[in-house]
Structure 1
Amino acid sequence: MEDTPNYSFYRRPRFSANHLAEYLCTRDAGQRDAVIRKAKFPRKPSVTAYQQVTPAFRSFLAKPTGGFGPLDELIDRLNAKALREEGYNREEALRCVKAVDAFKAAYSAAKWGKAEFVAGPQDVSMKIEGVSVNVRLDPPLIERGADQAFGGGCVIFLASTPDARKNIEERRRYVAAITHWALEGGNLEPLPRLCMSFDVFGEEIIRAPTAVSRLRQKMTDSCREIHAKWDAIEPPTGYDGPDWR
């Protein structure tokens, strides 16, 4: 007897922090439905831009050596790849070189205090009005005090083109705030200044706000709306996945 397919994935509202931030930034009802559709029917995995550098960024943050040696070595490898490749592979290698340079500049300019990054990435989830919201930390942070340790997390944004940068301008502030809220259910008390979005090409660190009441109410209202709409959202044109009803 064949196993009965489990379609519960489609029936449970699931959003990433980026999806929720995008939803919060979208005013048009049709575009909001499109954000839900994107979350409900994710595309099949594909080659992701900057995948040659994001693991190196996480590793560098989690294991600082006191210098940029590992990142400089990565730049050398990427430049060598650009010399021997053509087309997309060459252009992507050069884009990644620019990303590493921007990361180094942003990291140098930031004030980290006593905060320490730990091994990551790490997924942290919470539920808001029936919607499961997941935050991918790149990576988590800890700040150790005399009597207590505090938590936080960093979400990396990589957007270099004008259109992509316009799309993340407001979202990254929401992502920092969502990160702070999601971590409140963990073992360490999170601090707003330790919950951040790291805009690599903008060379900017945005930290979660300290005033949260109105912002969290907006998130709650949005998740209530997402939950109410979820079941009625149909797949995109050309959808070839399993039966979702």
Structure 2
Amino acid sequence: MAPTEDKPKFSYRASPQLSANQMAEYLSPSTSSTRRTGIIRDARFPKKSIVAQYGMGREGLVNFLGDGTRSYGHLADAVVALEKREAKPGASTWMKRDSRGSIEAIEAFQRHYNKLGFSKLDCRPVHGRQPLLDLWPTRISVSLDFTIHRQPVGGKKAVGGAVLLFSKGETSTNARLERSKIIAGLLHTYAGRFLECMGDADPTLCFAVDVFGGIAHKPPGSFVKKLRNVADACDEIAARWRTVRPPSGYDGPEPD
């Protein structure tokens, strides 16, 4: 087996594909044309070595919400594990920072829990690989953290889902708000595309959760119009995909 340092640091994606977060940033009016090119570059030539931040914090929150008893023991156990990880001899600066940030995220969520409105919702963790939203030339990965279910009395089941967003620096900005609503709209679109076997897709059950800000954003009422903007952006990204060159230091496969 080749040493880790000899392995390529980049991979290559032949077909246009963005994450919901990347698409939301691409569509933001505050995003410059240079940054939009950078978003396409990051998606076409993704780094292999990126470790997801707040991973253990996310896991603790999903375990808590997915437990019908909503035992705070899940959150307490996650905090204890993170404190041990933070204090571990030889822990890197990144690991210490990520552990502390995850603890703060869990504490923020617990403070805002009642306001967020999840106490009466049926939340279920998502397992396995999730399909890509494939309605446009550029596919979008939504990556739900959990699905949300409701059984109205005498009515048909309703379904939605949520993504937990961890960002401390800009929770109150207009750009952050706009991006969160776009993500929530993509969640609703995803539910209508892939979760209808569980019930009718319900926009009131689709949330982009600003963990630090304590806000669960729903799709805006005008999202049908914004969905046209998503479609236009997907066309534009697909047209530009092969024209965007690799980043400096690229060592992945030769692009088409």
| Contact 2:116/2:214 (<8 A) preserved | no
Aligned-residue offset at 1:78:
3.0
User: What does residue 10 of structure 1 align with?
Assistant: 13
User: What does residue 3 of structure 1 align with?
Assistant: none
User: What does residue 181 of structure 2 align with?
Assistant: 173
User: What does residue 59 of structure 1 align with?
Assistant: 63
1:80-128 Cα deviation digits (max 9, x unpaired): 5545556624443322221110111232212247531112156242224
Q: Which amino acid aligns with 1:110?
A: L
Equivalent of 2:156, from 140, 143, 148? 148
Aligned-residue offset at 1:137:
0.4
Whole-angstrom distance in 1 between the partners of 2:116 and 2:172: 20
Whole-angstrom distance in 1 between the partners of 2:131 and 2:163: 12
Q: Which amino acid aligns with 1:103?
A: F
Let me know the Cα RMSD of the aligned residues: 2.4
Equivalent of 1:115, from 121, 124, 138? 121
Equivalent of 2:139, from 132, 137, 144? 132
Instruction: Compare 94-103 and 73-82 and name the one that shifted more.
Output: 73-82
Q: Which amino acid aligns with 1:95?
A: G
Equivalent of 2:43, from 27, 30, 39? 39
Whole-angstrom distance in 1 between the partners of 2:156 and 2:60: 30
**Unmatched runs of 5 consecutive residues or more in structure 1:** 1-8
Cα 1:87/1:42, change in 2 over 3 Å: closer
| Contact 2:159/2:202 (<8 A) preserved | yes
User: What does residue 101 of structure 1 align with?
Assistant: 107
1:189-234 Cα deviation digits (max 9, x unpaired): 2111111111111111111123322111111111111111112111
| Contact 1:140/1:152 (<8 A) preserved | yes
Number of residue pairs aligned between Structure 1 and Structure 2: 236
Cα 1:13/1:77, change in 2 over 3 Å: closer
Cα 1:236/1:206, change in 2 over 3 Å: same
| Contact 1:114/1:144 (<8 A) preserved | no
User: What does residue 185 of structure 1 align with?
Assistant: 193
Whether 1:220 aligns to 2:228 is no
User: What does residue 216 of structure 2 align with?
Assistant: 205
User: What does residue 23 of structure 1 align with?
Assistant: 26
| Contact 1:124/1:137 (<8 A) preserved | no
Could you say what secondary structure the match of 2:162 adopts?
strand
Equivalent of 2:241, from 219, 230, 239? 230
- Considering fraction of residues, name the structure with more strand: 1
User: What does residue 4 of structure 1 align with?
Assistant: none
| Contact 1:106/1:205 (<8 A) preserved | no
**Unmatched runs of 5 consecutive residues or more in structure 2:** 1-11
Could you say what secondary structure the match of 2:149 adopts?
strand
Could you say what secondary structure the match of 1:118 adopts?
strand
Could you say what secondary structure the match of 1:52 adopts?
helix
Cα 1:209/1:169, change in 2 over 3 Å: closer
Whole-angstrom distance in 2 between the partners of 1:107 and 1:124: 29
| Contact 1:180/1:208 (<8 A) preserved | yes
Could you say what secondary structure the match of 1:238 adopts?
coil
1:162-213 Cα deviation digits (max 9, x unpaired): 2687674432111001111122123232111111111111111111123322
Whole-angstrom distance in 2 between the partners of 1:43 and 1:108: 38
Q: How many percent identity over aligned positions?
A: 25
Whole-angstrom distance in 2 between the partners of 1:141 and 1:29: 36
Q: Which runs of 4+ in 1 moved over 6 A?
A: none
